[in-house]
Amino acid sequence: MKQKKTGLSRRSFLRQTAVMAAAPYFVPAAALGRDGRVVPSERIVLGGIGVGNRGSFDLRWMMQEPDVQFVADCDANRSRRLAVKKMVDERYGNTDCALYSDMRQFLAERTDIDALLITTGDRWHAPASVMAMRAGKDVYSEKPSSMTIAEGRAVVETARRCRRIYQTGTQRLSEGNFTFANEILRLGRLGKIHTVRAHIAPWDSAELSHNWLAAEPEPAKEEMDWDEWLGPCPWRPYNAAYTRGAWRGYYDFHTSCIGEWGAHTFAQCQVAIGAADTSAVEYGYVNNDSGDHMVTRFANGIEMVLERDMESRYWHGSCGVRYEGDEGWVAVADGYSKPEVSAPALLAEFKKIVADYTARTGCAMSHVRNFFDCVRSRRLTVSNPVMMHRSMSTVHAANICMWLKRDLRYDPVKEEFDDAQANRLRTRAMREPWGI
C-alpha cells in the first residue's frame, strides 16, 4: 500500500530546518533580566492580606521595586479584592493577580509566595503575621502591629522560631529627617537627654467603647465573609460602617488615639534613646480622655511625654517627635524640609550624618527597600519584631493606665505590672479558630 504524500520533500524539510536554526529565537527582555529588569528566578514573590486604603499606598510603593512581583491578594471583602486586582493587573499589563477570600486556604496553597504585605485593621495585624510566618512567609505588617502585650510577644517568638523576616510599618525610621534627629541624639550633639516628646493622634479617645453598632442584614459570604473579617474579635453583628473604617474607637478593634500615632512616635523615640529593646517602666495617669501630657519614664531616667496637639509649641504637622537635652533640642514631623533645631549649627552636617547612618547600618532610606533587602540577606529589619513589641508594649501600658485611671509601674523584663488588674489586660480572649 502506497504511503500518503505529505507535500514536503526531504530537500524542502532540510532547507526550512536550516532557516529556522539561523533565525533568532525571541525571548522577552523580562525573562533575560535586560533593561534593568530582574529575571523571574531572582524576584521576590509578594502577596497581600487585607490590602485597603493604606495598603494600596504600600503596594504601589512595593511594586516600584524591580525585584518584586505581586501575585495574589486575600481579603474577606470582594470589592476590595477586585480593586487590588485591577491595580496590580494594570501595573503589570496582564490578568494574573489571583484572589482569595479564605486566609487559611491562601496560606496553604500559595507556597510560591516569599513575603506578605499585611494591611488589615488593627485586630488582624498580629494574628495574620503569626499565621503567615508559621506558613513560611516573611512579613511586612502595617501598624499598630499588636492589640495586646501578649500578641506582640507572640510575633517576636514566632519570627524567632520560624526564622522569618518581619518589618512593621513605622516608615519614619527610614526617612532622612527622622533619622537625622535620632542620629544627632545618639552622637551626643544635644548633650544629656532628659525628655523626649511623642505625638498621639488628635482624634478619638484613649477611652474605647465596649458597645457595638446596630445589626444590619449580613451580605452573602462571597461578597463579605463577616466571620473572617472579624477574625479573633468577639462576635459582633454585621454593620457595613465597620468595613469602611468605623471600627476605630471600639475596644474590640482599635488601639485608641495613643496607638494610632504612638505606634510611630513611641518607636521613633525609643530607638533614639537606645530603648528599642525595652519599654517605659512608669506611667503617670492624667485626668483627661486622651492621655495628653502623660509622662512615661524609662529605666535610664529619660521621660517620654505624650503630646496631642496638632499645632503645638513643640512641632507643627503630624507624627511629631522632639528630643531635649541639656545642650539643645531637635524636633521633626511630617512635611518638614529639614528638622527644627535649637541652633543652626546642628544642621551643618545633615547630609553627612544621614549618609554615615546608611553606611554604618546598611539600612536604605526606604522602608520597603529595607524590608526586601533583609528578605534577601536575612538581616534584622530597622523595624524588627523586638522593636515593634517593646514600643507597642509602651502603647498598651499607656492605654491600660488611662483605662484604670491610676499610675502604673511595668517591668519590661518580666512583662508584668505591679497591679493585678493591669496584668489581666495584657491579653484578650481570641475567638476560635483564630487564636494564636
Instruction: Report the DSSP beta bridge partners of residue 328.
Output: 325
In which element (H, E) is residue 162 found?
helix 149-162
Residue 127 falls in which region: left (phi positive, over 0), alpha (psi -120 to 50) or beta: alpha
The pLDDT value recorded for residue 35 is: 54
In which element (H, E) is residue 354 found?
helix 350-361
Q: How many CB atoms lie within 10 A of CB 203?
A: 13
Q: Is the pLDDT of residue 29 over 60?
A: no
Task: Write out pLDDT tens, residues 330-373.
Answer: 999 999 999 999 999 999 999 999 999 999 999 999 999 999 99
Beta strands, E only, 172-314: 193-199, 282-283, 295-297, 303-307
The pLDDT value recorded for residue 13 is: 45
Q: Name the average pLDDT for the chain.
A: 93
108 to each of 121, 132, 163, 409, 434, how far by Cα in Å? Answer: 22, 10, 18, 43, 15
Residue with cell 524567632: 160
Which residues have a Cβ under 8 Å from the Cβ of 312 and sit 6 or more positions away? 320
Check residue 224 and report its DSSP letter: B
Domains and CATH numbers, the chain: 38-171 (3.40.50.720), 172-207+254-366+385-424 (3.30.360)
Amino acid at position 217, single letter: P
Q: Is the pLDDT of residue 66 over 80?
A: yes
Is the CB of residue 172 less than 8 Å from the CB of residue 264? yes
Amino acid at position 183, single letter: E
401-429 CB burial, b ≥16 within 10 A, e <16: bbbbeeebebebeebebebeebeebbebe
The pLDDT value recorded for residue 26 is: 47
Is the CB of residue 72 less than 8 Å from the CB of residue 99? yes
Question: What are φ and ψ of residue 138, in 5° steps?
Answer: -80, 155
Task: Write out pLDDT tens, residues 195-209.
Answer: 999 999 999 999 999
In which element (H, E) is residue 100 found?
strand 98-100
Radius of gyration of the chain (CA): 26
